[in-house]
Amino acid sequence: MTPYPDESAARTLVVRTARSLFTRGLTHGSTGNLSVRLADGTLLLTPTGSSLGTVEEGELSRTDLRGEHLDGPRPTKEAFLHAAFYRARPAANAVVHLHSTHAAAVSCLDGVDPANALPPLTAYYAMRVGTLPLLPYHAPGDGSLEPLAERTARTHHALLLANHGPVIAGPSMEQAADAIEELEETAKLHLLLRGHTTRPLTPEQAAVLAPPSP
């Protein structure tokens, strides 16, 4: 995949994906943000304070790869996080960050493995997400998260922010959105199965399905 060459089509894609995520309950209120990488190297993002259920194509923001605002409304306060993923992952052309209920719930649990917050319960989770590092809590918009997120994103396309929610990058918006939805469903399964003996994929089975490196 290459960066999105047609800005108008990219705006349509961001808004269409935002609507889909919102109407299916994967985000709520004014939480969550999406972005794509354009062919000129700039990023198109949902703006700060917007709802993914109502944001319009003309309301999207543009930043550079440092997260600096270039034009349009003020970008999401987590623009630096999107920029960190794009710098770390040259093949990424879309980033999705949600506060989806079950993934956020896992991010609040005590004793979660910071190296891998969810077990590979299904083959599709192993394929679309792989391992899921849990990053320590930072307040929303806290730029001190940026260097840690960038370092971790070099080897993982999906992260879980403690007491917050997931972030996933993908070669396309469709792939990033599919992956974050798979993550949410696996988090739901994980919570439903708490207290039961589970049979996740073995490390060998998961390794065969693991997503490619950046």
Q: How far is CA 124 from CA 8, 12, 114, 167, 212, in A?
A: 32, 28, 21, 17, 14
Model pTM? 0.96
Token readout for 104 is 């956020």
By three-state DSSP, how is residue 165 classified? Answer: strand
Predicted pLDDT of residue 68: 94
Which residue type does 48 have? Answer: T
Q: Write phi, then psi, for 4 (nearest 5 degrees).
A: -70, 120
CA–CA separation, 104 vs 54, rounded Å?
A: 22
Predicted pLDDT of residue 1: 81
The pLDDT tens digits along the chain (214 residues) read 889 999 999 999 999 999 999 999 999 999 999 999 999 999 999 999 999 999 999 999 999 999 999 999 999 999 999 999 999 999 999 999 999 999 999 999 999 999 999 999 999 999 999 999 999 999 999 999 999 999 999 999 999 999 999 999 999 999 999 999 999 999 999 999 999 999 999 999 999 999 887 7
In the sheet that holds 158-161, the strands lie side by side as: 69-71, 61-63, 43-45, 33-37, 94-97, 165-170, 158-161, 134-135
Predicted pLDDT of residue 77: 93
Q: Which domains does the chain have, with CATH numbers?
A: 7-209 (3.40.225.10)
Known catalytic residues?
A: 78, 124
Q: How many residues appear in the chain? A: 214
| Dihedral over alpha carbons 185, 186, 188, 192 (to 10 degrees) | 140
Cα first-last separation, the chain: 12
Predicted pLDDT of residue 212: 80
By three-state DSSP, how is residue 95 classified? Answer: strand
Token readout for 92 is 């990424």
Q: What b/e sequence results for 72-110 when a residue is b if at least 16 CB atoms lie within 10 Å of its CB, and e otherwise?
A: ebebbebbbbbbbbbbbbeebbbbbbbbbbbbbebbeee
Work out the angle at residue 154's Cα, subtended by the Cα atoms of residues 8 and 164, and round it to the nearest 5 degrees. Answer: 75
Predicted pLDDT of residue 96: 98
